[in-house]
Structure formats: structure tokens, C-alpha cells
Amino acid sequence: MCFSATASFVASGVIGTMGIATLRHVREPRALLFAAVPMLFAVHQFTEGFVWLGLTGRIGPVALEHVTFLFMMYAQGILPLLMPLAVLLMEPPGARRWAILALTVLGALVCGWMIYGLIAFPSQCHVEQNSIAYRNPFTSNFPASLLYILATCGALVLSTHKVVRGYGVLNVVGLTIAHIVKAFAFASVWCFYAATLSIVLYWQFRRENIDVETPNGSSPILRPFLLPWLRLMGAAAARRRRDREVGDREVGDRL
């Protein structure tokens, strides 16, 4: 993220909290990977916080090398496969699903290409205009970047789900602005934008706007299958509050 380690860690905490809240509202297993995007971005921002610490001399060069690799691994290697796969799992049968499947295969190839480059060639990073610029001689080229964008954002835009398409369009807009304004720190700036934007997914899952069984419709409400204990704790706390209120009213009536 831009600015500092503190900003990255704070962003990670906020996005991570929203990520846990998003997972609470997942009703169908096939939506789990897409719902996990905010949490994964939170971990990613946490990693960049340590990159900042390394660039400012607060952790050693070996640690800096490791966290730089982890940041670039997610940004360049995992995302082009994660996004189309998450969309594919939610997509109903049809022509769009076949197109998204093709983009998922493309994303797997881009993932392999990027990971090979990150392992075989040295990566570097430095601070430039309050942002971190990441460089790798193998992965930083126009053809790879074009295929990366196609795999990462193409599946989102092709999705049958209107909410997912809207999320994809917003990512394309942010990606374009990041490239125009801060092309030298594109990976850092766009990943922060995408991480912040992923909070939108919380509201969509909370409002049950992402329905795998009935895209753009509404299926019978299912009980969330993930982290149900959080909901049970909330329900128990609500019951205790109601019991206290009833008790207070009864005491008031007696007086």
C-alpha cells in the first residue's frame, strides 16, 4: 500500500475484519472461494507492511527478500488463477461458463509462468513517491501483463452474476487509473485498490445478492455453513439482552 507500514497494517486489520464478517454470510460452498477474497487481500496487505519495514531498515535483508517474494507471489502468481477459478465455481452451465473455464486455464498458465519467473529470477523493490515499486526481469513485460489482466478481470466481467460483473468493472477502472497515475508502482497500488474494493463483497453477501443456485434471483434462505458459532454467539447475546430488558420491566412494574 502507499504511505507506510502502519497504513498497510491498519488496512489489513480493517479488511480482515470485514473478511471474517463476509465468511459468516456464505450460504453455499461454491461461493466460499469468492467470499474469501477480502480475507486473502488482508493477508496480502499484512505482508506488504513487512515489506515497508524491510525497506525502512526495521527488519533484515533476508526477511525483506522473503516478504517481497510472498507479496509478488500473490499479486502476480496467485491472483490470475484465483479470480477466474472463484467465478467459475459459482457460474451456472452455459456458454459463459465455458468462456470462464478457458480464462481459468489461461490463468493457470499465467500463474505457472509468473511463479517460475519469481523463483528463477531475482525480484527487487524500492520506495518511489510514497509507493513501493516491484520489479522482476521475467514477469515485468507487456505480453505477460496483458494475459494477466485478461485472466484476472475477464472472468469477473463475463460472470452471469450482476454483482460479480460490477465488481469486475470496478476493478478494471481501478486498474486503468493505477496504470495511468502510478505505473511504476502498479502492483502495490492496484492490489491496495482491489483489497479495499473487496469490502464491497461483504455488503453483497450480507444482503444475499450473490446467489449461486439462482443467479440474480433469490433461492430459499439457507443457514450459513461456515463459522456458525459466530452467529450462535450473537444470538445468545441478543437473548441475554432481551431477558435483561424483560427483567428490568418486571422490576419496574412491581415498584
- Measured from the Cβ of residue 184, the count of other Cβ atoms closer than 10 Å reads 15
Reported as a pLDDT band with limits 50, 70 and 90, residue 194 is confident
Bigger pLDDT: 86 vs 251: 86
Q: Could you tell me if 188 and 142 lie in one domain? A: yes
Q: Could you tell me if 241 and 195 lie in one domain? A: no
Q: Could you tell me if 207 and 144 lie in one domain? A: yes
Quick: pLDDT tens for 100-155. Answer: 999 999 999 999 999 999 999 999 999 988 889 999 999 988 888 899 999 999 99
pLDDT at 13: 93
Q: Could you tell me if 135 and 240 lie in one domain? A: no
Q: Could you tell me if 105 and 154 lie in one domain? A: yes
What domain range is 253 assigned to? 225-255
Quick: pLDDT tens for 104-115. Answer: 999 999 999 999
Mean pLDDT of all residues in the chain?
85
Quick: pLDDT tens for 49-58. Answer: 999 999 999 9
Q: Could you tell me if 131 and 252 lie in one domain? A: no
Looking at the predicted structure, is the pLDDT value of residue 27 above 60? yes
Q: Could you tell me if 233 and 215 lie in one domain? A: no
In the chain, how many domains are there?
2
Q: Could you tell me if 34 and 151 lie in one domain? A: yes
Whole-number percent of the chain with pLDDT over 90: 53
Q: Could you tell me if 15 and 134 lie in one domain? A: yes
Quick: pLDDT tens for 153-172. Answer: 999 999 999 989 999 998 89
Q: Could you tell me if 19 and 44 lie in one domain? A: yes
Q: Could you tell me if 213 and 230 lie in one domain? A: no
pLDDT at 191: 81
Q: Could you tell me if 67 and 182 lie in one domain? A: yes
Q: What is the pTM of this model?
A: 0.81
All three cell numbers of 104: 481459468
Looking at the predicted structure, is the pLDDT value of residue 228 above 80? no
